[in-house]
Amino acid sequence: MSPKIARLAGLGAFGACAAFLALFAYVSFLSSPSPTGGILMSTSVVVYISLFVVVVALIAAHVAIAKQLMHIANNGGARPV
């Protein structure tokens, strides 16, 4: 992989982390209880926790991939995992 493409892919992986956080905030907002209706607070907390675990796992995977790609972009070649 050329360094230019590796850098672009690494920045894209970091950008995906921001998108995951925005999606988490949006779904958390949608699942929050409101005075005019919505779901119960206990169900809302379950949604928050389950989404948090998934989002953290996705962000961790994307950061690891982005670090590897940025290392390749700096002409370091593939580094051992």
Q: Tell me: the pLDDT tens digits for 13-72?
A: 999 999 999 999 998 888 888 887 778 888 888 989 999 999 999 999 999 999 998 998
Note the pTM of the prediction, 2 decimals. 0.80
Residue matched to tokens 């996705």? 58
Q: Decide if 47 contacts 24 (C-beta within 8 A).
A: no
Non-local CB neighbours of 39 within 8 Å, separated by 6+ positions: 31, 33, 47
Per-domain residue ranges of the chain: 3-73
- CA dist 11 and 69 (Å) reads 9
